[in-house]
């Protein structure tokens, strides 16, 4: 592998020369606040998902509480995961990487802190709204429309902070990780705002709603969450491996392919829409495999077999697993979106299984890889805040238990639905053997999320005690 060169666009700027985020208290608080709040939502999303999963095979569980019906718990869990956990951790890691790459402080840090508080309040009210039955009926946009409008406005604040931060960079050329993160920051308000306006304020009619909702979910998945994850991976892998990116041109080409294609995919072959829309979407889903393959190849070739210290070793482990998950997601999505005449995987358990691979396997692991580098730096100790290997094992165990049964169950479900001699009750009963292990997987993920939050809070407490201890020590000497 080529050694770290002076080429600023394919090599990470030397971390040692960058100012520590610790030098900027407001920036450090903003990033830590986003992280703590995000991990808090990870715990809550895990709890809601466990309850929803139990409801799938135990319908009488909490049956007298309308707020805990499956139809309310599941959208609440997804909302908590997407808007509470992934978005906030993604913002924390993404903004931190921009400060590193631009060698500057986080811009508008006090405003980011204020926006984070409001964001959490809005998501909280939105989830309460969903549990109380005020959902909009559009997957991933279930929070009341006023809340979604507020979130769109707040996302502009985060975007501005990131853009101003990167505008202070010394080299004009951008490192590929910054391409993806800046692209993600541009996309968030656009995608969220346009979909909210079109579906909930402008209210398009009929099946056009399905097309708009599909467009939103796919664009949000790739242009926001996917871009953040890939940006984090490009940064972490190159920095930890202390090398140039294997192929800068592949990464940039993949960026543009994602940007061009991502908004067109996501519709299932069976959608009640004109054939041309479904065909274009199906083609886009296939083409999307090209940038996925390019990114996986580039990252894998860049990553070193081992890292220098504990935090970097943890970051590398998380990164490599995330890259493998991205490859698995590409292959599974090929099966999911393939047009079929008989048994089709759309609307089966395969879909949540596939999303688990993306949410937990790709995005969560990629962002945690970033956290493994960010937290030790923010907390002032190379080993502080590093996610433990045992927790990673739990995350992987949870991922396996949630994903494999749902994917296999989805395949069986597709075959059972296609067998017209089977009644719908027989089909439902045939799935219980798959939903049970998936529930166990969600419980394991929930435990892992609690451990990570507790560990982080402990690290922050230790850091605070050291900080205040060092401040008071000279005073006592005086």
In the complex, the smallest distance separating the C-beta of residue 25 from other proteins, rounded to whole angstroms, is 27
Give, as ranges, the residues between 31 and 50 that touch other proteins (CB under 8 A): none
* Binder among 272, 305, 469, 474 for other proteins (CB under 8 A): 272
Could you tell me which stretch among 103-111, 131-139, 376-384, 452-460 binds other proteins (CB under 8 A)? Answer: 131-139
Could you tell me which stretch among 144-152, 293-301, 319-327, 420-428 binds other proteins (CB under 8 A)? Answer: 420-428
Tell which residue, 286, 309, 274, 408, has the closest CA to residue 352.
408
250 Cβ contact partners less than 8 Å away, ≥ 6 residues apart: 294, 295, 297, 298
Contact of 399 with 46, CB cutoff 8 Å? no
In the complex, the smallest distance separating the C-beta of residue 314 from other proteins, rounded to whole angstroms, is 31
Could you tell me which stretch among 17-25, 88-96, 242-250, 341-349 binds other proteins (CB under 8 A)? Answer: 341-349
Distance CA 319, CA 364 (A): 10
* Residue span 245-264 as binding mask against other proteins, x where in contact by CB under 8 A, dash where not: -----------x--xx-xxx
Contact of 162 with 168, CB cutoff 8 Å? no
C-beta closer to other proteins: residue 255 or 318: 255
In the complex, the smallest distance separating the C-beta of residue 139 from other proteins, rounded to whole angstroms, is 5
How far, CA to CA in Å, does 45 sit from each of 51, 53, 77, 135, 136? 10, 12, 5, 17, 19
C-beta closer to other proteins: residue 178 or 378: 178
309 lines the binding site for other proteins (CB under 8 A): no
CB neighbour class for 280 (10 Å; exposed up to 12, middle 13-18, buried from 19):
middle
Q: Which residues of 7-17 are buried (b: 16+ CB within 10 A; e: fewer)?
A: ebbbbbbeeee
How many residues interact with other proteins (rule CB under 8 A)?
Answer: 90
* Residue span 209-248 as binding mask against other proteins, x where in contact by CB under 8 A, dash where not: xxxx-xx---x---x-------------------------
* Residue span 350-379 as binding mask against other proteins, x where in contact by CB under 8 A, dash where not: -xx---------------------------
C-beta closer to other proteins: residue 355 or 444: 355
In the complex, the smallest distance separating the C-beta of residue 66 from other proteins, rounded to whole angstroms, is 5
* Binder among 41, 85, 119, 138 for other proteins (CB under 8 A): 138
Contact of 39 with 453, CB cutoff 8 Å? yes
341 Cβ contact partners less than 8 Å away, ≥ 6 residues apart: none
* Binder among 19, 66, 389, 458 for other proteins (CB under 8 A): 66
Q: How many other CB atoms are there within 10 angstroms of residue 164's CB atom?
A: 15
* Binder among 14, 308, 347, 473 for other proteins (CB under 8 A): 347
Count how many residues are written for the chain. Answer: 478
Please give the DSSP secondary-structure letter assigned to residue 13: P
Could you tell me which stretch among 18-26, 203-211, 300-308, 356-364 binds other proteins (CB under 8 A)? Answer: 203-211
Contact of 176 with 248, CB cutoff 8 Å? yes
* Binder among 5, 7, 270, 390 for other proteins (CB under 8 A): 270
C-beta closer to other proteins: residue 168 or 393: 168
In the complex, the smallest distance separating the C-beta of residue 255 from other proteins, rounded to whole angstroms, is 8
Could you tell me which stretch among 26-34, 36-44, 60-68, 328-336 binds other proteins (CB under 8 A)? Answer: 60-68
Distance CA 390, CA 478 (A): 45
C-beta closer to other proteins: residue 372 or 413: 413
At residue 278, φ and ψ (nearest 5 deg) are: -65, -40
273 lines the binding site for other proteins (CB under 8 A): yes
At residue 274, φ and ψ (nearest 5 deg) are: -55, 145
At residue 91, φ and ψ (nearest 5 deg) are: -65, -45
Give, as ranges, the residues between 161 and 190 that touch other proteins (CB under 8 A): 163, 166-167, 172-174, 179, 182-183, 186-187, 190
* Binder among 2, 19, 110, 274 for other proteins (CB under 8 A): 274
* Binder among 428, 437, 450, 466 for other proteins (CB under 8 A): 428
* Binder among 382, 388, 429, 461 for other proteins (CB under 8 A): 429
In the complex, the smallest distance separating the C-beta of residue 172 from other proteins, rounded to whole angstroms, is 6
Please give the DSSP secondary-structure letter assigned to residue 388: P
174 Cβ contact partners less than 8 Å away, ≥ 6 residues apart: 9, 101, 166, 182
203 lines the binding site for other proteins (CB under 8 A): yes
How far, CA to CA in Å, does 231 sit from each of 36, 54, 62, 164, 299? 21, 35, 42, 18, 11
40 Cβ contact partners less than 8 Å away, ≥ 6 residues apart: 84, 453
Give, as ranges, the residues between 321 and 340 that touch other proteins (CB under 8 A): 340
């Amino acid at each position: 592998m080529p050694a770290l060169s002076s080429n600023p666009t394919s090599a990470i700027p030397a971390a040692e020369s960058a100012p520590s985020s610790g030098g900027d208290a407001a920036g450090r608080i903003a990033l830590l606040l986003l992280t703590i709040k995000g991990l808090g939502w990870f715990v809550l999303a895990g709890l809601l998902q466990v309850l929803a999963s139990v409801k799938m095979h135990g319908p009488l569980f909490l049956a007298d509480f309308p707020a805990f019906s499956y139809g309310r718990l599941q959208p609440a869990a997804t909302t908590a995961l997407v808007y509470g956990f992934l978005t906030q951790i993604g913002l924390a890691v993404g903004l931190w990487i921009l400060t590193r790459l631009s060698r500057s402080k986080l811009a508008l840090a006090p405003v980011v802190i204020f926006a984070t508080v409001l964001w959490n309040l809005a998501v909280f009210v939105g989830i309460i709204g969903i549990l109380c039955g005020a959902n909009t009926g559009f997957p991933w946009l279930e929070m009341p429309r006023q809340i979604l409008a507020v979130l769109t406005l707040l996302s502009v604040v985060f975007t501005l902070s990131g853009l101003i931060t990167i505008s202070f960079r010394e080299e004009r050329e951008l490192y590929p990780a910054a391409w993806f993160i800046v692209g993600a920051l541009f996309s968030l308000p656009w995608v969220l705002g346009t979909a909210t306006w079109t579906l909930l304020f402008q209210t398009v009619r009929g099946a056009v709603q399905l097309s708009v909702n599909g467009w939103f979910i796919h664009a949000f998945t790739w242009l926001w969450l996917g871009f953040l994850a890939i940006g984090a991976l490009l940064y972490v892998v190159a920095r930890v491996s202390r090398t140039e990116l294997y192929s800068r041109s592949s990464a940039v080409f993949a960026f543009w392919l994602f940007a061009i294609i991502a908004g067109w995919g996501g519709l299932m072959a069976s959608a009640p829409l004109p054939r041309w829309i479904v065909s274009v979407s199906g083609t886009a889903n296939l083409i999307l495999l090209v940038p996925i393959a390019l990114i996986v190849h580039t990252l894998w070739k860049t990553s070193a077999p081992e890292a220098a210290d504990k935090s970097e070793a943890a970051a590398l482990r998380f990164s490599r697993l995330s890259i493998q998950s991205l490859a698995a997601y590409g292959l599974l999505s090929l099966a999911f979106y393939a047009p079929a005449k008989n048994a089709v995987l759309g609307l089966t358990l395969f879909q949540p299984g596939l999303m688990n691979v993306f949410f937990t396997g790709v995005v969560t692991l990629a962002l945690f890889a970033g956290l493994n580098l960010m937290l030790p730096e923010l907390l002032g100790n190379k080993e502080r805040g590093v996610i433990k290997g045992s927790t990673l094992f739990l995350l992987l165990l949870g991922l396996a238990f949630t994903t494999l049964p749902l994917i296999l169950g989805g395949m069986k479900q597709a075959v059972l639905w296609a067998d017209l001699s089977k009644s719908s009750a027989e089909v439902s009963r045939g799935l219980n053997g798959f939903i049970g292990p998936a529930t166990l997987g969600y419980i394991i993920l929930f435990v892992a999320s609690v451990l990570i939050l507790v560990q982080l809070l402990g690290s922050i407490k230790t850091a605070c005690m050291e900080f205040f201890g060092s401040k008071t020590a000279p005073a006592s000497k005086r």
